[in-house]
Each structure stands twice: as C-alpha cells, then as structure tokens.
Structure 1
Amino acid sequence: MSESKDAAGQQPGSRFELLCGVTIAILAALLAINELGSGKFGGDEIAARNEATKAYSWYGSKSLKENLAEGQRDLLLALRAAGAIAPEKVSAVQGTLDRLDGEMDRYSREKQEILVGSDVVGKNNWAQAVDGQLGNVRGAKEWDAESDRLDRAGDIFDTATLFLQLCLVLGAISLIMKVPARRNAFFTAMLILGAAGIGFSARAFYLAFNL
C-alpha cells in the first residue's frame, strides 16, 4: 500500500519531468535549426557584399572608359573650334567624334545597368552582356539590398539564439527544482522565452528568404 502511495506521489513529478524534458528537446532542436540558418545566411551575406564590391569596381572601370572617351571628344572639338584641323581631315575627325559619342552613350547605359541591374533598366536598355548574353546583370544596388536584408536577418537570428539558449537554461533549472511553485515558475519562464525565440527565428527566416 505504501509503495502504491509512493508511486502515486511520484507521478506528478514524473509527468513534469517528462513534459519538461520533451519541451527542452524540442526547443534544443529549434535552436539547432536557428543556428544552421544563421550560419547559412551569414555566408550568403558575405557573398552578397563581395558581389556588390565587384559590381562597383566594374562600374568604376566603365566610368574611367567613359571619361577617357569624353576627354578625347572634347580635345577634338577644341581643335576643330580653333581651326587646327586641316579641311581634308574634317570628315575623318567627325567620324571619330561620332564614334566617341556612341562609345560614351554605350558606357553610360552599361554603367546604369551595372548599378541597378538588368531587370530595373528594362529590356530596351540592355547594353552589358554577361557570358555572351544580355539581361543577366545583377546590379550593385541589388547586391547591396540583399546584403543589408541578410544583415538584418542575422541580427534577428542572434536575438533568437539568445532567447532559445536562455529558455533552455531555465528549463534545466526547473528540472532540478523540488518546490512545485518555483519549478512551475521556471518552466513557465522557459515557455515564454522559448516562444519569443521561436518568433524571432521565424521572423529571421522570413526576412532571409525574402518572402
């Protein structure tokens, strides 16, 4: 009879330990998923920043070429205005001026496409080929926007990690508590922090996937 009473007396504690243990295991699994997402999208953020840097360098090289063409054109215009070009060379100079104007216009359109991307400038303004095909340029500003978005997601992932780690600590403390009131208080606090961590993690994944 006493054994059955002891067993009956242990049942509430056993049920709590089972419930708390399962909850901790679930939260630990969610923490692991959150950490995987944080690491994966953190790498994507670094890659996006590198791509943005390369795009801005590409943009700078086009600007340099445009400036060189503009300088040559301005020099020829100044020479023509000063009458320093022989009459028989005027037509050839005009052809060179037309070519330089065309190059400047092309460089300007290429710069714009490199800066904002092919999708933004539209098919009619595609000028820069990538791997022999037009319309495949992803702009520097697009890479900037992606890296900024992933950076914000990374901050939220970190917040989610903090809450999930804290809730696991509280759950472990609740398991060793003997006083039911204190044990339940720590368990409740674990659930609250766990819910907050899950919410932050879901928000981070939502932002990282750009949903």
Structure 2
Amino acid sequence: MTNEATQQDGSKPKDDLSEDQKGRFEVWFGLSLALFAAVLAINELAGGKYGDDELKMTTEKTSAYLWYQSKGIKESLAEGQRDTLKALIASGSVDAAHRSGIDQTIVELDRKIARYEAEKTEILEGSASLGPDQQVLEVDGAKGKVVGVKDMDRDLQRLSAAGDRFDIATLFLQLCLVFGALGLIVTKPKMKRTFLITMVVGGVLGAALSAMGFVALGVL
C-alpha cells in the first residue's frame, strides 16, 4: 500500500534508479565494456598467433627428431660394418693382401661415425651452441643455421605456458562482458552494482592473466 501510494504521488520507489544514477551506471558500464572488449580482442589475437607458432614449432621439432634418428641409424650401420671388419681381422680371416684395403675402410667408417655423431650433437644442441669448427650441417647451403631440439623444447614450453594464460584470460574476459551486459539490463541499483563489481573484477583478472601471457613470451 505504501509503495502504491508513493507511486501515485509521482515519486519513485526506493529500488528504482534516478535519472542521474542511471546515467552514471551507463557511463561506467559503457567505458568498462569498451575497455575489456579491447583487451579481449588483443588477447585473442595474441593467443591465435602464438598458438599457430606453437603448432608450427611442434611440427619442426618432430622433423628434427626424425632427422636425428636417421643420423643415428646411419651411425649404427657404420658401427656395425666397422665392428664386423675388426672381428674378421681379429679372427685371422683376412689375408695380408687385403689387410691394407680393409684398414682403410675401417678408417673411413670411423670418419663417418664421427661425422654422424657431430651431426646428431648439432641437431640436439643447435648451431648457436657450438663453435664454427663444430658446425657440420648445412641448411640452404650455409652452416650455422640449425635450430636445436633443446632450443625448440624451451620455446615450446614458453609458448605452452603463455597459451594457457591466454586461454584462461579469454574465459575471464568473456564472463566479464556477459556480466556487463546483464548489468545494463537489470534496473535495481544493488544488482547493477553487483554486476558492475563482478564485471570489473573479472576483467581485471583477465587483463592480468593476458599480461602474464605476454610476460611468459618475453614481450613485456
């Protein structure tokens, strides 16, 4: 009865917003939504870019491991041939006329084994970690361009950590925009304040996580 009487007198119920309050809320919601929407756009752009980089590097790492394994197989075959020849010599199965030729073959096999071992080391460590005299592999006709598997592992860990932060940041920022939209719809002051606070908290958390993603990448 009291509320009805008040409304009939032309005054607003306590739960309704005055024009001044409504204007302030619209400004706060509008600015906050615009700000956090911009942060979300930057976050998703970075997440997509570095996510693609992670996929590309994973493929490159797989190729490097296959390259490493092929060198290991060639090294094992050369070692097997060398050991077989040494066993033949030790058993006396090689006559003196052929001994010099077999010794030369063993020397060549030892050189191959040493080269394969050096190539495996460069594939694992990368050219940058080795001296110029230890760089034996060529990429595009030049030495010193091999990116090591260990370097790729470190970069992948960094990209993965950043990607996780970007994903969680996207979740918080999207929830923030949802709460902001709901806050614009409701009319009760308490609910508007609740949604505004929730939106700001979610947006700040999302922005912080996004910044942590950039820090993990070394951008900030």
What is the TM-score with the length of structure 2 in the denominator?
A: 0.87
Aligned mates of 1:173, 1:203 — CA distance in 2: 28
Q: Which has the higher helix share?
A: 1
Say which is worse superposed, 199-208 or 58-67, in terms of deviation. 199-208
Which residue of the partner structure matches residue 116 of structure 2? 107
* Secondary structure in structure 2 of the residue aligned to 1:84: coil
Task: Check conservation: 1:167, 1:190, Cα contact below 8 A.
Answer: yes
Task: Check conservation: 1:27, 1:194, Cα contact below 8 A.
Answer: yes
Which residue of the partner structure matches residue 24 of structure 1? 33
CA deviations over 1:14-38 (Å, ceiling 9, x no partner): 1220221121011111111111111
Alignment of 1:55-204 (within 5 A): 55-204=64-213
Percent identity for Structure 1 against Structure 2: 45
Aligned mates of 1:183, 1:132 — CA distance in 2: 66
Which residue of the partner structure matches residue 19 of structure 2? 10
Read off the aligned partner of 1:125 and give its amino acid letter.
Q
Task: Check conservation: 1:112, 1:121, Cα contact below 8 A.
Answer: no
Read off the aligned partner of 2:69 and give its amino acid letter.
G
Structure with higher Rg: it is 2
Query: Runs of 4 or more off by more than 4 Å in structure 1?
Result: none
Aligned mates of 2:58, 2:218 — CA distance in 1: 17
Give aligned pairs, total.
204
Say which is worse superposed, 93-102 or 117-126, in terms of deviation. 117-126
Aligned mates of 1:139, 1:164 — CA distance in 2: 37
Task: Give how far 1:149 is off.
Answer: 1.9
Which residue of the partner structure matches residue 43 of structure 1? 52
Task: Give how far 1:208 is off.
Answer: 3.0
Read off the aligned partner of 2:202 and give its amino acid letter.
L
Task: Give how far 1:116 is off.
Answer: 1.9
Consecutive unaligned residues in structure 1, runs of 5 or more: 1-5
Aligned mates of 1:103, 1:210 — CA distance in 2: 43
Aligned mates of 1:77, 1:210 — CA distance in 2: 57
Aligned mates of 1:36, 1:45 — CA distance in 2: 14
Superposition CA RMSD, Å: 1.7
Task: Give how far 1:210 is off.
Answer: 6.3
